[in-house]
Amino acid sequence: MRTSYKFFAGVAAAGLVIASGSAYTAANTVPANTGAGYGSTTATGVTVATMTVNPAANPINLGSVVYTVASDVSSMDFVLSNNGVVVTAACGASYSNPTTTITCTPDSTTTIASITSFGLTATN
């Protein structure tokens, strides 16, 4: 009888550890104001007139993507994306009335074959 009591006590203790472990991992608390976050908005009234894809010196790689926008958006920040995934690229804009030219130059490892679609995100 004593052996079965020890066995059941061991099983009960293991169950308590498992139950308390799962309860502990399920209770996550995150501070309300972390200073980080994500937001988005839809830009309206901006018309992309042209988009040009330029190969790098090694034509396998992407050299730059140049957009011409029919308004002054030069104060915005731009992010180049490939099928919704951000491409590591330096993007800059210059305004010459009435258009803004936005040039995004990806890092040297981005191949043209890896790009399935281009996206340009502008933020203030």
Structural domain boundaries in the chain: 48-123
| Spatial strand order in the sheet of 77-82 | 85-86, 77-82, 118-123
Q: What are phi and psi of 27, to 5 degrees?
A: -100, 85
Q: What is the mean pLDDT of the chain?
A: 72
What six digits make up the tokens of 73?
């958006």
The reported pLDDT for the residue numbered 19 is 40
pLDDT per position as a tens digit, 18-63: 444 444 444 445 455 545 444 444 555 567 888 898 999 999 999 9
* Helix or strand run (H / E) with residue 109: none
Q: Which amino acid is at 93?
A: A
Looking at the predicted structure, is the pLDDT value of residue 105 above 90?
A: yes
Contacts of 38 (CB under 8 A, 6+ apart): none
Percent of the chain with pLDDT over 90: 23
Measure the CA dihedral 115/109/119/53, to 10°.
Answer: -80
Beta strands in the chain (DSSP E): 48-55, 62-69, 77-82, 85-86, 89-96, 99-106, 118-123
Percent of the chain with pLDDT over 70: 63
